[in-house]
Amino acid sequence: MRIKSVNVIPIDLKLKEPFSIANETVDIGENVFLKIETDKDIIGWGCATPDSVTSETKETVIDCFNNIIKNILIGEDPLRINFINDILDEKLKGNPSLKAGVNMALYDILGKKADTPLYKLLGGYRDKIETSVTIGLNPVDTMVEKAKSFVSKGFTCLKVKCGMDADQDIEVVLAIRNVVGPNIKIRLDANEGYTLEKALRVVETLEKLGADVEILEQPTPAKYLYALKEVTSQCPVPIMADETVLTLRDSLKAVKMEIADMINIKLMKIGGITNAIKANTYAEIAEIPVMIGCMNESMGAMAAGVHFACAFKNVQYADLDSALDFEEDIVKGGATYKDGYVIPSDKPGLGVEVDL
């Protein structure tokens, strides 16, 4: 089997409402779909979601694809995924979301060739995983109403964005806990917004008042590794690294230095499934659990994260909710939601149907 054609299709997906975190507000999810066709009539779909975090834009993804990726892929055997991944790492510095899009398209082809859903092909540890749903920064009342809405739809884990105003963060979490009750999990994500002192004050205050926070994600700036390590050593709740672990090398460094209790692997940051397997394996050996997260991803990209999360035991957490945020996605299938869980498709490969 050989790759006979490759195409890139940029799609902007409008969010239902603007989404704010500690360092930005967005209202559009930029997604770049990749279509890889083989001479055996098998089509693989992938999707890149460029972001300022990965130092990419829609334009840079398209440019790199047309000028570099296309020439590499045409004529190659799509099942030689590790070989192609190695070439991309050598020829294309940076550009992790573009690499991720290509990589997941190749795994989609592999699954279709094997007539097997990807999560089973990767190991099939579980057939669903509990996912958090994210509440962006807003006035307190708005965030509380969002929490109530998610819980009414059956979700059992809330990720609350914070990091702008420590006092308001405390107020928000206490208010949310009051309305959702004790059985709903609450995770906090500061997106680098706290100092060491503020992070400890927020968590210690919330714990003292019975808010029962499950995880605090990326409390301090990504570049200050020892600040994150210090928070981890002092904080009464587990600390998760996110922006600190952009690349595969970052993830391995974080595990080796023990700077956090767990790490958040995002396919768009790390460059796809192949690199995510390496990072998760290393973390598992070190007994550090992993979360699989997402960017502003269409289901065309997020489905790969769902399949990955369900394939491996060490992936103990998931934040796979981006596809819920759009007014209209162009992808059907891939995954579904039920009772707080996200469930991968049982169709071959990623199980996505792309309306392009």
208 is catalytic: no
Catalytic entry in 99, 198, 266, 269: 266
How far apart CA 98 and CA 164 sit, in angstroms, is 31
Catalytic entry in 161, 185, 229, 269: 161
Cβ-proximal residues to 263 (8 Å cutoff; 6+ apart), any chain: 240, 241, 242, 245, 251, 254, 255, 279, 283, 288, 290, 291
99 is catalytic: no
How far apart CA 314 and CA 291 sit, in angstroms, is 9
- Which ranges of 129-195 does DSSP label H, i.e. alpha helix? 140-152, 166-180
Residue 224, judged by CB atoms within 10 A of its CB (0-12, 13-18, 19+), counts as middle
How far apart CA 315 and CA 280 sit, in angstroms, is 8
- Which ranges of the chain does DSSP label H, i.e. alpha helix? 58-64, 70-73, 81-91, 96-114, 118-121, 140-152, 166-180, 196-208, 225-234, 248-257, 267-270, 273-285, 299-311
DSSP state of 68: I
Q: Hey, what amino acid is at 209?
A: L
Q: Which residues are the active-site residues? A: 161, 266
